[in-house]
Structure 1
Amino acid sequence: MQVWGKILGAFFGFLLGGPFGLLLGLFLGHKFDKARTNIYSGRGFGGFSAGRANSAERQAEFFYAGFAVMGHLAKSKGRVTQDEIRVASAIMDRMGLHGESRHQAQNAFREGKEEDFPLGEILTKVRMSCAGRADLLQFFLELQIQAAFADGSLHPRERELLHVIARGLGFSAQQLEQRLHMQEAAFRFQQGGFNQQSQQQGGFRQAPTRDQLADAYELLGVSESASAQELKRAYRKQMNEHHPDKLAAKGLPPEMMELAKQKTQELQAAYDLIRKEKGFK
């Protein structure tokens, strides 16, 4: 424990200002000791990479890792095809990436395809940088799941690698499978009538089918027998986990904010659809 700051602060404070100076010196000395403790323990400069990286650097690391792991996932089926490249480009389009940020994402994707890509090391870095911020880790995992599902199917090798990625981030096999089911439902939900344009006009271009309603339930992680209260609780939980402002406050790179916004729109549309069809208030 650092104490010299308090001792010296109290001593010189008393000499210069008497009892009042002693208290002020003790307070300032405490602040000095606390700052020194944080630096030596690796918390002085953002708590990442032994305390050397600031917030912008952590965001850059997260951004790079997201697309590099995505490239590694695309390579899991063998040779990366034009379909996988189109999937990555589509995700970049959804994020609204242009110019330098898009160039960085493309470079990271290419590096992830290399044979010697250090997947375990990258996942460990992501997990350490997001310590105490489970929502960010979940976002990272869901980004990889979205990339795997973007072509409409999940290859067995992709599923296998997603389990490796999930373990590296600290998620169980059961948690991954739940997210896979929810993302599959989300994919069908999007294909079945929901998109960003129609969402602004009520969510669906046409009357939803029973399958679309089932997908909305699965997207929110509740059963079709859920009560209005259970539905609302699940909706609020999902929105809390994916809210762009909360993710931004926890360190989500600004380049990825658009995906978080789209996810909340999707959750809102699913919730509104169920409420309307079930007559919930």
Structure 2
Amino acid sequence: MSIWDRIGDFVIRISNSAKAGVSDLVEALRTVFEGDAELRRRVAFSVAMIALSAKMAKADGVVTQDEIHAFREIFSVPPEEARNVARLYDIAKQDVAGFEIYAERMARLCGTGHKNCAMLEDILDGLFHIAKADGVLHERESYFLKRVSEIFEISDEHYQTILARHLDLGETDPYRVLGIERGRPFADVRAHYRRLIAHHHPDRLIARGLPEEFVRIATTRVAAINAAYELIEKSARAA
């Protein structure tokens, strides 16, 4: 059974609630997948991405076609499950609870309590991918993403590295994309780069609970790291 079948069952269950909202989402995740922590993490990731995407759209006030396309790049939803995903998106968007409550509850399910929890970074990367799709990171989106990172207990320094991965490399420092200080010997940069590639390899992300359906997040991240490293390598050779 695919992750979408699981999410479909989950959405049907919470849809029976007359006041479906964040409490219903979290409680359903706890009970429906009780006894299967691995499946709960995978579904929690998916639900967090969908729900927080809806909250980000509501905070920004405008959903562009580019953002819809970016959402679909991450979520390759089978046609038979599209209605359930749309229902979950609408539940989150219409809920009177603010996005901070959603982020806090989802963070607990995804493993918060450990700084820079890997899956929470995956969620933030997915939100960035959607937010930047129209070519502009709007002020409300920037506030939303920074606040979510704080709730996820991602340090400001690491948040700046995540942010840099999503900016045009003509506008940002490639050293910041790699999360290493400028001026380090190139051998150190190369060793750091290799560790990053190993850590962020799509297979590694799947192994820690990222559903296979969302490896676009991993491949986009690795592409940004590769591009930054190539700029630094080119500069080192020219020196």
How does the TM-score come out when normalised to structure 1?
Answer: 0.61
Tell whether 2:125 aligns with 1:142: yes
CA RMSD of aligned residues (A): 3.1
Is the partner of 1:171 in helix, strand or coil?
coil
Question: C-alpha displacement at 1:99, in angstroms?
Answer: 2.5
- 1:62 corresponds to which letter in structure 2? F
Distance verdict in 2 for CA 1:53–1:244, change over 3 Å: farther
Q: 2:106 aligns with which of 108, 126, 142?
A: 126
Question: C-alpha displacement at 1:69, in angstroms?
Answer: 0.2
**1:160 aligned partner:** 143
Kindly indicate whether the alpha-carbon contact (under 8 Å) linking 1:95 and 1:259 is maintained by their aligned counterparts in 2. no
What is the percent sequence identity of the aligned residues? 23
**1:275 aligned partner:** 233
Q: 1:171 aligns with which of 154, 158, 175?
A: 154
Tell whether 2:211 aligns with 1:250: no
- 2:137 corresponds to which letter in structure 1? L
Q: 1: CA distance between counterparts of 2:81 and 2:183?
A: 44
Q: 2: CA distance between counterparts of 1:273 and 1:174?
A: 21
- 2:127 corresponds to which letter in structure 1? Q
Question: C-alpha displacement at 1:71, in angstroms?
Answer: 1.4
- 1:57 corresponds to which letter in structure 2? R
Distance verdict in 2 for CA 1:118–1:60, change over 3 Å: farther
Distance verdict in 2 for CA 1:108–1:235, change over 3 Å: farther
Question: Whose relative contact order is higher, 1 or 2, with alpha carbons under 8 Å and at least 6 apart?
Answer: 2
- 2:229 corresponds to which letter in structure 1? Y
Is the partner of 1:61 in helix, strand or coil?
helix
Q: 2:45 aligns with which of 53, 62, 80?
A: 62
Kindly indicate whether the alpha-carbon contact (under 8 Å) linking 1:95 and 1:257 is maintained by their aligned counterparts in 2. no
How does the TM-score come out when normalised to structure 2?
Answer: 0.70
Distance verdict in 2 for CA 1:116–1:232, change over 3 Å: same
Kindly indicate whether the alpha-carbon contact (under 8 Å) linking 1:64 and 1:105 is maintained by their aligned counterparts in 2. no
Q: 1: CA distance between counterparts of 2:185 and 2:80?
A: 48
Give the gaps of 5 or more residues in structure 1. Answer: 1-47, 190-210
- 1:265 corresponds to which letter in structure 2? A
- 1:157 corresponds to which letter in structure 2? R
Question: C-alpha displacement at 1:224, in angstroms?
Answer: 5.0
Q: 2: CA distance between counterparts of 1:93 and 1:127?
A: 23
Distance verdict in 2 for CA 1:268–1:60, change over 3 Å: same
**2:30 aligned partner:** 49
Distance verdict in 2 for CA 1:100–1:125, change over 3 Å: farther
Query: Which one is further off, 62-71 or 126-135?
Result: 126-135
Question: C-alpha displacement at 1:254, in angstroms?
Answer: 1.5
Distance verdict in 2 for CA 1:159–1:139, change over 3 Å: same
Tell whether 2:134 aligns with 1:151: yes
Residues 220-259 of structure 1: pairs in structure 2 closer than 5 A: 220-223=178-181, 225-259=183-217
Structure having the higher Rg: 1
Distance verdict in 2 for CA 1:239–1:117, change over 3 Å: farther
Q: 2: CA distance between counterparts of 1:242 and 1:268?
A: 11
Q: 2: CA distance between counterparts of 1:279 and 1:107?
A: 53
Kindly indicate whether the alpha-carbon contact (under 8 Å) linking 2:125 and 2:217 is maintained by their aligned counterparts in 1. no
- 1:231 corresponds to which letter in structure 2? V
1:135-164 Cα shifts (integer Å, max 9, x gaps)? 111111122222222222222222222232
